[in-house]
Amino acid sequence: MALIQVTVVEEVLTLEQKRRVIEKLTDAMLQITGEAMRGVTWVTIQDVRSGEWGIGGQVLTTESVAALEVGKAEA
């Protein structure tokens, strides 16, 4: 049995992107454990409110993560 947990800042992923994350993470796990484990491989996605997550002393917001995705954020 496997539980894969993903945490993201809210409104960064669309429902379709979340569906794809769940599908692909499940498939990756099954490449290692075997297809028989599909029924007991769980993936959860938790949204954290914008501004309630920080890395390296910097607060992450929905906007700052979106900027990273399109290469707008400073390195």
Structural domain boundaries enclosing 10: 2-69
Rg (CA), the chain: 15
> Looking at residue 43, what is its pLDDT?
98
Number of domains in the chain: 1
Domain annotation covers residue 13? yes
Taking only the tens place, the pLDDT of each residue in 9-61 is: 999 999 999 999 999 999 999 999 999 999 999 999 999 999 999 999 999 99
Specify the CATH number for the domain of residue 32: 3.30.429.10
Q: How far apart are CA 54 and CA 56, in angstroms?
A: 7
Binned at pLDDT 50, 70 and 90, residue 68 comes out as: confident
Domain annotation covers residue 74? no
Domain annotation covers residue 25? yes
Q: Please, which residues have CB within 8 angstroms of residue 23's CB and are 6 or more apart in sequence?
A: none
Domain annotation covers residue 28? yes
> Looking at residue 72, what is its pLDDT?
63
Domain annotation covers residue 75? no
Helix (H) or strand (E) holding 5: strand 2-9
